[in-house]
Amino acid sequence: MAATSTPQRATALPETEEQVEVGELADPDRPWITVVWNDPINLMSYVTHVFMTVFGYAKPKAEKLMLDVHRRGRAVVSSGTRERMELDVHTLHGYGLWATLEQQK
């Protein structure tokens, strides 16, 4: 009778979105920022509305940030702990905006 063996499952590490630059370490004392990027889809009035809804910004501040996104290609819309910025990015993605987080320089 031939011996049978059970197939071994390969274990893969979960994929992560975090990329670490060589020579760059995360500094726990530096705050993290949420950056919103310009996109060709969302209307300026909608982006203003999202900033007012998500962050509670007054209309003039929301419009200034929206214009920064539109003219400069990006704007820093919030800063704080990494966990909070991850939540902000996730929330903005839910509204269809392009957003990322990075550690403040």
Closest CA to 80 of 19, 16, 28, 26: 28
Average pLDDT, the chain: 85
- Residue 2: what pLDDT? 58
- Residue 16: what pLDDT? 42
Please tell me the pTM assigned to this model: 0.73
Looking at residues 70-86, what average pLDDT do you find? Answer: 97
d(CA 47, CA 79): 18
How far apart, in Å, are the Cα atoms of 48 and each of 9, 10, 34, 69? 50, 48, 16, 10
d(CA 19, CA 76): 20
Looking at residues 52-65, what average pLDDT do you find? Answer: 98
pLDDT in tens, 28-45: 678 999 999 999 999 999
Residue 74 scores a pLDDT above 80: yes
d(CA 88, CA 78): 8
Looking at residues 50-67, what average pLDDT do you find? Answer: 98
